[in-house]
Amino acid sequence: MASDAAIGIHDLSFATSEFVLPHTALAEHNGTEVGKYHVGIGQRSMSVAAEDEDIVTLGAAAAAPIIARHGTDEIRTVVFATESSIDQAKSAGVYVHSLLGLPTATRVVELKQACYGATAALQFAIGLVHRDPTQRVLVIASDISKYELDSPGEATQGAAAVAMLVGPDPALVRIEGPSGLFTADVMDFWRPNYREAALVDGQESITAYLQAVEGTWKDYTERGGHALEEFSAFCYHQPFTKMAYKAHRHLLNTCGYDTDDAEIKRAIGQTTAYNAVIGNSYTASVYLGLAALLDQADDLTGKSIGFLSYGSGSVAEFFAGSVVPGYRQHLRTEAHREAIDRRRPLDYAAYRWLHQRSFPADGGDHPTQEQTSGTFRLAALRGHKRIYERH
C-alpha cells in the first residue's frame, strides 16, 4: 500500500510552560477531596503559561532543538496545529518560522479541529513527503487549555507544545495505513471567537469521545487494519489521564474482550506519565503520550503502537505506528524530564491572577512582565501586534 512507504516521525521534542499548579493547591482552594483529582481524573498538576508565554513561544521552544539537530535545509512546510489560536488571519506558525530563522522558501499554515488538529497535520505532512521525499515537514502542536475558574473543567487545564519532524526513513516511528475515521456534529466542547475559556458539557464530551473510539475502530478494521492483539501499546488523546483508561476499556469491550485492569494498565500506563503532570495540552496531548511511552518503555523496536486522536465537535482518527530499530538513540528523554522539572510552582492566588489577565484591546503599548526563563518570550502587544523576542 502506498501509504506504507517508510514515512513518519523522524524527531519529536516537547516544551511546556514556566509555571505549574499542583492539584493539591486547587483542591485546598475549592474544598475538593484531592483523591478526586489524583485518582478520579488521574491528574497531579497542570502547566500554567507565564504572562510572556503563548502558543508561539511554546511552539518555538519545542521546535528549536529539532532545528538545532537537523538544520533547516530540508524543511519546506510548517504546519501549526492549535485550538488556542492568537489571530484569525495570520498563522502562529509564521511567528515561529521567523523566531527559528527558517528559509523564506517555506509554506506555513495553521490547522484547526479541536484536539485532533495535530493528527490532521501529521497525515497531511505524510502526504507531502510522499509526493516529494526530498522534503521534511515540521509539525507543531501547541495549546494552552483554559476553562472557567471554579468550573468542573478547571482541573483539566494545561499547556504544552510538541514539535515533530516528519520525513522519509524516520528514526522514531513509521506511520502506517490504513486510518479509521469518524466525524459527528456534536456540541461537547467548543469555544466561540468571543470567548477566552472553552465551553464544555463534561459528561456529553466523555460519551462523544467513547463513541468516536468505537466509530474509528469500526472503520479501521473494515479497512483491513491490525487486530487489537497486534498492538503493544495505545496512545490516546488525554484531556485527563483517566480518560485514556475509560477509552481503552471501551475499545476492549467493543471488541468483545474482558476488561482486565492489569492489561489496560500494561497497554497505556506508560503513555500517561507526562500528561498526568502537564494537564490537557489539546493538540499536543496524544503526542505527549507517545513521548512518554518512547522515553520510558524498555524496548519497543518493531512493535506496533495504536493512536487514537480525538477532537471535540467532533473528528477522530485511529491509526498505527511501527517503532523503528535504533530509535532509542534519537530520544530526548533528559530534555523532556527537565522541561517538566524546571517549572516553578504557583500558589493559587498567583495562578488565579494569571488566569484572569488579558491584553487590553485598545491598540496601545502593553509590555508583559519578564517571567519566562525560556529562550522565546512574548514581550508586548503594541498597536495590536504581538512582539516576540529570542534570548
Q: Rounded to an integer, what distance in angstroms lies between the CA atom of residue 190 and that of residue 172?
A: 33
User: What beta strand segments (E) does the chain contain?
Assistant: 7-16, 19-22, 45-48, 75-81, 107-111, 136-145, 158-168, 173-183, 189-190, 199-200, 231-236, 304-311, 315-323, 344-345, 365-367, 376-382, 385-390
Decide if 110 is catalytic.
no
Q: Regarding beta strands 304-311 and 315-323, do their DSSP bridges make them parallel or antiparallel, or are they unpaired?
A: antiparallel
Among 14, 80, 189, 274, binds ligand CAA (CB under 6 A): 189
Please tell me whether residue 40 binds ligand CAA under the rule CB under 6 A. Answer: yes
Q: Does residue 251 bind ligand CAA (CB under 6 A)?
A: no
Active site annotation includes 115: yes
The site string for ligand CAA over 79-118 (x = CB under 6 A, - otherwise) reads ------------------------------------x---
How many residues does this entry show for the chain?
391
Number of residues that bind ligand CAA (CB under 6 A): 27
What distance in Å separates the CA atoms of residue 198 and residue 200, rounded to the nearest whole number?
Answer: 6
Query: Which is nearer to ligand CAA, 128 or 264 (by Cβ)?
Result: 264
Q: Does 243 bind ligand CAA (CB under 6 A)?
A: yes
Query: Rounded distance, CA 272 to CA 236, Å?
Result: 9
Which residues 342-371 are close enough to bind ligand CAA by CB under 6 A?
none
Is residue 216 involved in binding ligand CAA (CB under 6 A)?
A: no
Q: If binding is defined by CB under 6 A, does position 153 make contact with ligand CAA?
A: yes
Q: Active-site residue 255, yes or no?
A: no
The three-state secondary structure class of 56 is helix
**Distance, CA of 325 to CA of 173 (rounded, Å):** 9
The answer to whether the beta carbons of residues 335 and 13 sit under 8 Å apart is: yes
Least distance from ligand CAA to the Cβ atom of residue 188, Å: 6
Exactly one of 239, 306, 321, 374 binds ligand CAA (CB under 6 A); that residue is 239
- Alpha carbons within 13 angstroms on the beta-carbon side of residue 182 total 28
What is the gyration radius of the CA atoms in the chain, in angstroms? Answer: 20
**Beta carbon of residue 390, minimum distance to ligand CAA (angstroms, whole number):** 30
Q: Point out the catalytic residue in the list 51, 83, 110, 317.
A: 83
Q: Which of residues 296-315 bind ligand CAA (CB under 6 A)?
A: 310, 312
Catalytic residue (choose from 18, 23, 110, 115)? 115
**Binding segment toward ligand CAA, per CB under 6 A, in 53-61, 70-78, 238-246, 298-306:** 238-246
Considering the rule CB under 6 A, would residue 16 count as an interface residue with ligand CAA? no
| Candidate list 10, 237, 248, 355, residue with the active-site label | 237
* All three cell numbers of 18: 514556566
Three-class secondary structure of residue 327 per DSSP:
helix
Position among 65, 133, 202, 345 found at the interface with ligand CAA (CB under 6 A) = 202
For the chain, how are helix, strand and coil distributed in percent, rounded to 5? 40, 30, 30
Quick check: 186 and 89 in contact, CB under 8 A? no
Q: Which stretch binds ligand CAA (CB under 6 A): 37-45, 117-125, 127-135, 292-300?
A: 37-45
For 64, the enclosing helix (H) or strand (E) is: helix 55-70
C-alpha span between 176 and 130 (Å, rounded): 12
Q: From residue 120, how far is each of 116, 159, 299, 351 by CA, in Å? A: 7, 20, 28, 32
Is position 135 an interface residue for ligand CAA (rule: CB under 6 A)?
no
For position 235 contacting ligand CAA by CB under 6 A, the verdict is no
* Site for ligand CAA contains 138 (CB under 6 A): no
State yes or no: residue 340 binds ligand CAA (CB under 6 A): no
Q: Which of 209, 217, 236, 351 binds ligand CAA (CB under 6 A)?
A: 209
Smallest gap from residue 88 Cβ to ligand CAA (A): 21
Q: Measure CA 224 to chain center.
A: 28
Based on the shown chain and the rule CB under 6 A, indicate whether residue 35 belongs to the binding site for ligand CAA: yes
- Contact between 271 and ligand CAA (CB under 6 A)? no
Q: Residue 78 or residue 243: which is nearer to ligand CAA going by CB?
A: 243
In the complex, the residues that contact ligand CAA under the rule CB under 6 A are 33, 35-36, 39-41, 115, 152-153, 155-156, 188-189, 200, 202-203, 205-206, 209, 237, 239-240, 243, 280, 282, 310, 312
Catalytic residues: 83, 115, 237
